[in-house]
Amino acid sequence: MAMYGQGKTRGKVAILNIKASINQACAAILLNNNIKPKYIFYYLANQYEYIRNLSNIGNQENLNGLIIKSIKIPLPPLPEQKTIAQTLSDVDALIAALDKHIAKKRNIKTATMQQLLTGKTRLPGLGEGKGYKKSAIGLIPEDWEVVLLSKLSHIATGQTPPTKNRNYYGYEYLFVSPADMGNAKYIINTLKKLSKLGFLICRIYPPMSILFTCIGSTIGKCGIVTSESTSNQQINAIFPSELVNNEYLYYQLVRSAHRIKSKAGEQAVPIVNKTEFGATLVLVCSIEEQKAIAQVLSDIDTEITALEKRRAKTQAIKQGMMQELLTGRTRLKIEHPDDPITKNSNG
């Protein structure tokens, strides 16, 4: 068990599966006989917030040996400990399998983007017989062009309503910050929202606008808003012209995120200004091919989203199971209760 550490480290537990030593920041919990280690692990993991609150108060909150020894644990007979631990381990195995599947799908998506968005691979019925030509960014299909982002879209930078005026903030309109952007393509909700008054003094983005973070450590985050919204000044909004498909441009910007981020250089506060951002080179093909490429990548994203939802649901089920099984509110059937503790137990 971690006894010290900033953030969420203190109180975390793990099972050591190899012979090793630990430093002073950890406590080793050596169990008596007739105790199932995984049962204790799951119980302590389930009590994480409670254990953290037991910490000493001072310049650095921490746990110590006396505090850890004082933790009371409801202990069922050994066969029930084993059954509970095995049940939760099976759920963990399912979650790990889903994590592995999600990672594999993400790798497939990355490889597919690299092939389709550069024209190295052409979809059936598109580009047959076409060769390649030199461009500012290397060899590209002869029927593709390299175009400045500023020529393909209008770009607007967000702004933050004065925070001193609480009337600008409420629950009506999405106010996007980098914290609301992650791996998901679509931005459907935000941590902060604006009132109508606050929304009307901002630049209003129509649904399906592309947002791209251009200031701070999160440069490169990209997403599409699904409803009318606005954003803070760390984010640029991109409104595509008729020359480019909205979702195709989103995927091109995702692929170019690392290259765009490199424009910020080594600054105290990294920034890619609107002019530099607009100078991003984008590969453009026919609208028909853009839509076809975007559809292939969207289908992969849909699969990833479904897997992530399944993982989140499984994790929630696990949390519910831990609350039930580790408190004895729900008892599992023990098929072979021949352990001495079980025989002497009244249940």
124 and 113 belong to one structural domain: yes
Residue 61: predicted pLDDT? 79
Residue 237: predicted pLDDT? 98
- Measured distance CA(247)–CA(56) in Å, rounded: 52
- Measured distance CA(289)–CA(107) in Å, rounded: 23
Structurally, the chain folds into a number of domains equal to: 3
Residue 305 sits in a domain of what CATH number?
Answer: 1.10.287.1120
What the block records as the tokens of 35 is 């105790």
Longest dimension (CA), the chain: 82
Looking at the chain, how many residues does it have?
Answer: 347
3 and 82 belong to one structural domain: no
279 and 293 belong to one structural domain: no
Q: Which helix (H) or strand (E) holds 61?
A: none
Which of 9, 43, 73 is the endpoint of a domain?
73
What the block records as the tokens of 197 is 């008054």
- Measured distance CA(263)–CA(219) in Å, rounded: 10
Residue 213 sits in a domain of what CATH number?
Answer: 3.90.220.20
Residue 344: predicted pLDDT? 46
Q: Look at residue 138 and tell me if it is in a domain.
A: no
Residue 210: predicted pLDDT? 98
Q: Look at residue 184 and tell me if it is in a domain.
A: yes
Q: Look at residue 231 and tell me if it is in a domain.
A: yes
Residue 7: predicted pLDDT? 72
Residue 346: predicted pLDDT? 43
160 and 253 belong to one structural domain: yes
Place of tokens 């026919």: 286
Q: Starting from the edge strand earliest in sequence, which strands make up the sheet with 210-213, in order?
A: 153-157, 235-240, 210-213, 222-225, 186-187
8 and 47 belong to one structural domain: yes
214 and 342 belong to one structural domain: no
4 and 96 belong to one structural domain: no
Which of 52, 73, 94 is the endpoint of a domain?
73
Contact indicator for 177, 216 with CB cutoff of 8 Å: no
CB atoms within 10 A of CB 162: 10
Residue ranges with strand state E in 14-100: none
Residue 55: predicted pLDDT? 85
Which of 258, 284, 310 is the endpoint of a domain?
284
Residue 329: predicted pLDDT? 93
Q: Look at residue 140 and tell me if it is in a domain.
A: no
Q: Is 271 left (phi over 0), alpha (psi -120 to 50) or beta?
A: beta
> For each of the chain's 347 residues, which pLDDT tens digit applies?
999 877 788 999 999 989 989 899 999 999 998 899 999 999 999 999 999 989 876 666 789 999 999 999 999 999 999 999 999 999 999 999 999 999 999 999 999 999 999 999 999 999 888 999 999 999 999 999 999 999 999 999 999 999 999 999 999 999 999 999 988 899 999 999 999 999 999 999 999 999 999 999 999 999 999 999 999 999 999 999 999 999 999 999 999 999 999 999 777 899 999 999 999 999 999 999 999 999 999 999 999 999 999 999 999 999 999 999 999 999 998 865 555 544 444 44
102 and 193 belong to one structural domain: no
What the block records as the tokens of 3 is 């006894």
Domain, as residue range, for 292 = 76-128+287-347
Q: Which helix (H) or strand (E) holds 340?
A: helix 340-343
Q: Look at residue 34 and tell me if it is in a domain.
A: yes
Residue 343: predicted pLDDT? 47
Q: Look at residue 210 and tell me if it is in a domain.
A: yes
- Measured distance CA(212)–CA(236) in Å, rounded: 5
